[in-house]
Amino acid sequence: MPSHHFLDANVLIGSLVEWDGQHRCTYRYMQQEGFRRHTSKRVYAECADVLGRFRRTVLQYLEYVEQSIPGHPDPLTLDQTIDRLTGRRMRMLASKREQNVLRSFVRRNKEDLRNAMLGTEEGWRAFRRDVIRAIKGALGSLDRDCRDDPFAPVVCHACCPGDYDDCFPGEKSALADALGYEPDTLVVPDSYYLRVSRIREEVCFVTTDTIHILRNRERIEEILPGITVRDPGAFLAGERG
């Protein structure tokens, strides 16, 4: 296995907290030593965008709920009220991903949400501040771990070109056909660009994206010589994520 790894956004995001979800392997993968981890400015920007959108989705939802609930909600029907308002707000969201984020947030924080709705304005504000603090902490952690600095836990390279039309036109077009998902036709070549221009050794592209990348692993490895594609679970001895 190559000792240089290029991390996709889902690995960086997934490793921000130690959690018990299906993607727990991302956190444990980041605890493993023996790899030199890299990523690109593009991936960093994607992570920051994702975290910002988490905050926006939840703040908009909390605002919507606050404006919609009666002054003194009935505790006996509060769960139905939350479900109804959540359903309505989800229908306003165009992106399936944002819907999933909101659904998961409400499901996992229902008790806090219920208490905030039944409590004082200060309690509601405190809950909102905790949401903000959670995202701020994640953004701070991303900034600390992922820097354009050879000693950073994840070296964030700022040298990758904006697109690969001039640099690797054939590879980009072949990837577009194989992946069918435009953003990945830039992120995957970032790893190849770094392999060729900076690292000059084999690089493993680490991702949890099954639909666009892991499923097309062999084709990507064929198009981009010297790149291997793996999910983080592949590096955990004796277990799979």
Partner 1 sequence: MPSPEVVPRLIRQIYQVRPDLKLPEAAIHAVLFEVRRALPRDNPGRERLPFYWYTHGPYSEIVRSSIEDLERRGILREETKAGKTLLVLDARPAAVGCVCEDELWRIVREIDPLEAFINRIYRDHAPYEFMPRYRVDFIASLEGYIASRPEGTLDQGSFCGIDCLEDALYACEAVLVEEPLFEGFNDEFTAYVSGAGKAFDIARTGESAAYPAIRATCAVARDVWCVFAGGVRILSRGHDDYYDGRLERWEQEYRKAFSALAPKVRAYNRYIRESARRTPHGEPDERTTRILSSLIEGYLPG
Nearest distance from C-beta of residue 105 to partner 1, angstroms: 5
How far is the C-alpha of 234 from the C-alpha of 113, rounded, in Å? 38
Is the CB of residue 38 less than 8 Å from the CB of residue 5?
Answer: yes
Q: Is 88 in the site for partner 1 (CB under 8 A)?
A: no
Instruction: Candidates 1, 79, 87, 107: give the one binding partner 1 (CB under 8 A).
Output: 107
How far is the C-alpha of 31 from the C-alpha of 26, rounded, in Å? 9
Q: Is 21 in the site for partner 1 (CB under 8 A)?
A: yes
How far is the C-alpha of 73 from the C-alpha of 166, rounded, in Å? 60
How far is the C-alpha of 34 from the C-alpha of 67, rounded, in Å? 51
Looking at beta carbons only, is 66 or 74 nearer to partner 1?
66
How far is the C-alpha of 138 from the C-alpha of 81, rounded, in Å? 31
Nearest distance from C-beta of residue 233 to partner 1, angstroms: 13
Number of residues that bind partner 1 (CB under 8 A): 56
Please report where in the chains the tokens 């990945």 appear, as a residue: 184
Q: Is 22 in the site for partner 1 (CB under 8 A)?
A: yes
Looking at beta carbons only, is 171 or 209 nearer to partner 1?
209
Q: Which stretch binds partner 1 (CB under 8 A): 21-29, 79-87, 160-168, 195-203?
A: 21-29
Q: Is 153 in the site for partner 1 (CB under 8 A)?
A: no
How far is the C-alpha of 114 from the C-alpha of 36, rounded, in Å? 45
How far is the C-alpha of 145 from the C-alpha of 12, rounded, in Å? 9
Q: Is 173 in the site for partner 1 (CB under 8 A)?
A: no
50: CB partners within 8 A, 6+ apart: 9, 13
Beta bridge partners of 40: 157
Instruction: Candidates 62, 116, 155, 188: give the one binding partner 1 (CB under 8 A).
Output: 62
Nearest distance from C-beta of residue 13 to partner 1, angstroms: 6
Nearest distance from C-beta of residue 125 to partner 1, angstroms: 8
Binding site for partner 1 (CB under 8 A): 10, 13-14, 16-17, 19-23, 48-56, 58-60, 62-63, 92, 97, 100-105, 107-109, 112, 128-141, 143-144, 208-211
